[in-house]
Amino acid sequence: MSAKAPIIVIKKKGAHGGHHGGAWKVAYADFVTAMMALFIVLWLMNSSKQIQVAVGGYFKDPSGTSKKVGSDMEGAGESFAVSKDNMEQLREELQKSMRQVPNFDKLKNHIDMTITSEGLRIELLESATSTFFNVGNPEPNGDGKDILVALAKELGTLPNKIAVEGHTDSTPYSGKRDYGNWELSVDRANSARRLMQQNGIREDQIMQVRGFADQRLRKAEAPLDPSNRRVSLIVQYLNKKPDSDEPSPSEAKEGTKPAEAQPSKAPPAEQKAP
């Protein structure tokens, strides 16, 4: 009689419910990503303007070569540099900074910013009762100091060169002997330069200090108008470096230390302060 074959019992386990699948992992990963993005946005909102510009510039140009400062452009290697493309952005930042100055509501109509072929021109215009400089005085008054310090803190973070100009109206100056509108325009520009260098502007950032007396009137049809008396700051565009190894005349000029501006024309006799 043959042996009986062994009995083999096969048991099948039932599948568990769908709640043990992997779909929840995808949803959790999306949640973590969203939280990370939120934290990055919150961090950027509390960061300095330079960091915000640098991060934004990375997403616009990940390679960092299109507008890299310090490679094909002159500058100090800062992440934000004023070019013709972002000059409007600088103007908005300066306006925002100056709004923190006391008496800004009284001063705002005497501050003019225009974008020119040379760069951003910031002009501090005088009034009949004086605004930034007292009549005949080369030193800025309290309001003038507040505005110049606020500008210096912002402009000092840029690699761009800055020129400072002094202007007067055509009113003859009377007072000190051998001192006239030429001297006054230069002295006011130099006073603004000194104050700004003490509050953020780098020593090598000032390229020129110029005094024009009444030779470049803002209102030529009204040479005695008080707004002709002004101090102008010009934030110049960054210049592309030439392909040759020899520096251009403009580069050689920019590389020299700025000297005290000298009048380019003999001062007229017996002039009166604007």
The first and second tokens of residue 131, run together, are 């605004």
Q: Label residue 234 left, alpha or beta by phi (over 0 means left) and psi (-120 to 50 means alpha).
A: beta
- pLDDT tens for 68-109 read 443 334 433 344 567 777 888 888 889 898 998 988 999 999
pLDDT at residue number 60: 67
Could you tell me which residues come within 8 angstroms of residue 85 by beta carbon, excluding any fewer than 6 positions away?
Answer: 67
What are the contacts of 194-198 at 24+ separation with CB within 8 A? 195/140, 195/145, 195/148, 195/149, 195/152, 196/148, 196/149, 196/151, 196/152, 196/155, 196/156, 196/164, 197/152, 198/152
| Interatomic CA distance for residues 125 and 107, integer angstroms | 9
The pLDDT tens digits for 165-206 are: 999 999 988 767 889 999 999 999 999 999 999 999 999 999
Which pLDDT score, from 0 to 100, does residue 128 have? 92
Please write the tens of the pLDDT for every residue from 108-158.
Answer: 999 999 999 999 999 999 999 989 999 899 999 999 999 999 999 999 999
Report domain extents, the chain.
Answer: 24-66, 80-255
Top-tier CATH class for 80-255: alpha beta
CA distances from 257 to 155, 194, 202, 253, 270 (A): 19, 14, 12, 9, 33
Nearest CA to 254 out of 79, 68, 76, 3 is that of 76
- The angle, 0 to 180 degrees and rounded to 10, between the axes of the packed helices 49-60 and 23-45 is 130
> What pLDDT, on the 0 to 100 scale, is given for residue 21?
65
| Single-letter residue type at 144 | G
Q: Which residue has the higher pLDDT, 239 or 226?
A: 226
Give the contacts of 255 (CB within 8 A, at least 6 positions apart): 247
What is the pTM (predicted TM-score) of this model? 0.60
E strands along 168-229, which residues? 206-211
